[in-house]
Amino acid sequence: MSNPKRPPRAALPAVALTGALLLTGCSGSADTEPPGSTSAKVNPEAAATPTWAPVTGTPQVIPAVREFRRADGRGWRPTEQARVVVPAGEHSNVADEAQLMARDLGGLDVVYGDETIRPGDIEVKATGKSTADNVPVRGAADEAYTLTARGTRLTLTAPTDAGIFYGTRTVKQAVRAAGGLPEGTIEDRPDRPQRGMSLDNARKPFSQDWIEARLREIADLKLNQFQLHFSDDQGFRIQSDTHPEVVSADHLTKAQVRQIIRLARSLHISVVPELDSPGHLGAVLEHHQDLLLRKASGTVVPGAIDISNPKAAPLIDSLLKEMSDLFANPKGAPAYWHLGGDEYQALLSSTPATTYPQLTRAAQRKYGSGGTIKDLATGWLNDRQKTVEAQGKNRIEAWNDGFFSSPRVSADKNRMVDYWTGKELGQRDPAEFLREGRNVMNFNDEFLYYVLGEPNQFFYPTGRRIYESWTPKVLRHTQPVSVPASMTGPDRIPGARFAIWCDRSEAQTAQQVAAGIRLPLAALAQKTWDPRTPALSWSQFQALAGRV
């Protein structure tokens, strides 16, 4: 059946309007059935074949497609008569992707069921087993898709709705960049299964609108993760009903967070919440000063919680449980949680045992006479991991400086290392984690850290440097990690996230941040999608980014 209510036609960028939606001319006969049209009919007499100038070259998109097999023909461009056809029906799990593409292309009609595929139409079909709508994928194979432009028709197939979604992003960008897709077949898939952006919303609050605009931006780049660091010394930025006293005046309500999560899920983005501990807790501890860590001299350590205090764990666990419930996940889907674990000041001391004797005593009580503060901190994170796992979280992460070598207690084996720094004294080489059998996510602060105000020898990263000099294998400094190649594949280094940190929150406005991260995000998308050296020069890539 056809869609009874045609969506309004939205404006496309000028390049697309002039080259695509204004096409209305027709020629005599229709072409043969395109590949992939297995569940819908093709009727050569149903409509006249539209005519247009051939789309030439290779598909113009970011990230670039992995494989394109060229064929003879005019390619595909959207016309006013074009429709998006969904054979599986309007209640299928690909219907929302089809509707989004139709809107992106200026308000095309969407039709469902056993419809004739007419010249100029797009057929959208999932080839794998039907799943619940917008469930996060488990690997890169689930994100593959095929696009075939043949005989003035376009066919989009994929094993999952996530793959369909990425195919729609390719169509949208190709129309913006070149007016359409050249004749031939695209076979596309990502190299790294986890690709995303991390936002420090604690030091500098960003609005719901700003966050949602970034979600749409990274989705168009086929990035699939959004990490939200919502608690730090400067603010706790989400409504809490269990501990309203810790919440900053400028914060997101739970209703806003749910809307953000819904949007992210519709864009096939997994949200990774982060409640950092045992450091970076200043906003919480401002209202629980009896739990502040103190030196033997009595000096307070800002932002650090005293993990030897029996009241410390219940406070943090209550917040973890509440926030875990808020950041809900579909049953059976990957459910992420970030424990933080970085920069606990007691472990940055040159004499931790004597400077923090209460921690040493607690470690020895728990782990024997040889117990250390590192053991106690590792045990703290292990216990917090048990808390969120009991709430259904099954993909747990922590920063690399929250992992320690100790014979007494080891970090939970199911916790992924988020490697951000090798600059701080005593930080372990990422090769150690890989040899231990741990998976390591790339947050290399040399390339992927956008720190407002550029403190502590940080510099705003450029898209060009990421594009020309970084790969997911470059975990620390500027050279690939020194381990066998078998340890650097997507199964061990699953990907990377580009991190925005707001250390000097007033150094840039939200609008300046959005402008500053645009090209680095595009470069990250390219380098995590395809492991090969990019075909375009940086200047060509930059120009394409401006068009799409």
pLDDT higher than threshold 60 for residue 362:
yes
Gap between the Cα atoms of 320 and 418, Å rounded: 20
d(CA 147, CA 286): 55
Provide the strand spans (E) within 51-129: 67-70, 83-86, 109-112, 122-126
- Report how far residue 105's alpha carbon sits from residue 502's, in angstroms, rounded to the nearest whole number: 36
Question: Residue 32 pLDDT more than 60?
Answer: no
Segment 278-289 mean pLDDT? 98
- Using DSSP, state whether 522 is helix, strand or coil: helix
413 bridge partner residues: none
CB within 8 Å of 92: residues ≥ 6 apart: 86, 126, 130
234 pLDDT higher than 50: yes
In the chain, what's the furthest Cα-to-Cα distance?
A: 90
Say if CB 228 and CB 275 are below 8 A apart: no
Q: For 133-250, where are the E strands, in sequence order?
A: 145-150, 153-158, 184-188, 194-200, 225-232, 235-236
CB-CB neighbours of 249 under 10 Å: 7
Are 254 and 238 in contact by the 8 Å Cβ rule? The answer is yes
- Among 10-24, 176-190, 471-485, where is mean pLDDT lowest? 10-24
pLDDT value, residue 270: 97
pLDDT band at 135; cut points 50, 70, 90: confident
Q: Is the pLDDT of residue 269 over 90?
A: yes
| Banded pLDDT at 2 (limits 50, 70, 90) | very low
Token pair 């919502």 is found at 230
Work out the pLDDT band at 407, boundaries 50, 70, 90: confident
Q: Poorest-confidence range of 79-93, 120-134, 365-379?
A: 120-134
Q: What is the pLDDT of residues 408-458, one digit of tens each?
A: 999 999 999 999 987 766 689 999 999 999 999 999 999 999 999 999 999
Which of 13-22, 310-319, 414-423, 534-543 shows the lowest per-residue confidence on average (mean pLDDT)? 13-22
pLDDT higher than 90, residue 521? yes
Q: According to the model, what pLDDT value does residue 35 have?
A: 41
pLDDT of res. 426: 66
What average pLDDT does the segment 204-227 reach? 98
Which pair of structure tokens corresponds to residue 333?
A: 């889907």
Residue 31's pLDDT is 38
The better pLDDT of the pair 4, 131 is held by 131
Res. 508: pLDDT tops 50 = yes
Give the DSSP H/E element, type plus range, for residue 373: helix 373-390
Q: Residue 192 has which token pair? A: 């790294």
Q: Is residue 212 within a helix (H) or strand (E), and if so which, with residue range?
A: helix 208-220
Compute the distance between CA of residue 548 and CA of residue 162 in angstroms, rounded to an integer: 20
Query: For position 39, what pLDDT does the model report?
Result: 45
Cα within 13 Å of Cα(441), Cβ side: 26
Q: Which two tokens stand for residue 439?
A: 């998976």
Least-confidence region, from 27-31, 292-296, 540-544: 27-31
Q: For residue 49, what pLDDT band results from cuts at 50, 70 and 90?
A: confident
pLDDT digits (tens, 9 = 90+) for 473-485: 999 999 999 999 9
> Are 151 and 31 within 8 A, CB to CB?
yes
Please report the pLDDT score of residue 47 as a whole number.
Answer: 60
User: What pLDDT does residue 138 have?
Assistant: 82
Stretch 356-379: mean pLDDT:
96
Q: What is the pLDDT of residue 420?
A: 96
* Whole-number pLDDT of residue 236: 98
- Chain position carrying tokens 């390619």: 75
Minimum mean pLDDT among 32-36, 209-213, 248-252, 422-426: which range? 32-36
With cut-offs at 50, 70 and 90, classify the pLDDT of residue 16: very low
pLDDT digits over 307-356, tens only?
999 999 999 999 999 999 999 998 888 999 999 999 999 999 999 999 99
The predicted pLDDT at position 389 comes to 98
Token pair recorded at residue 162:
């996530």
**CA dist 487 → 112, 441, 480 (Å):** 46, 13, 12
Q: Is the pLDDT of residue 13 over 90?
A: no
Report how far residue 242's alpha carbon sits from residue 135's, in angstroms, rounded to the nearest whole number.
Answer: 29
Which letter, b or e, does each residue of 464-480 get, where b requires 16 or more Cβ atoms within 10 Å of its Cβ? ebbbeebbbbbbbeeee
The pLDDT of residue 537 is above 90:
yes
- pLDDT > 70: what percent of the chain? 91
Q: Which of 474, 522, 521 is nearest to 500 (CA)?
A: 521
Helix H or strand E encompassing 258: helix 254-266
Q: Considering the chain, what is the average pLDDT of its residues?
A: 91
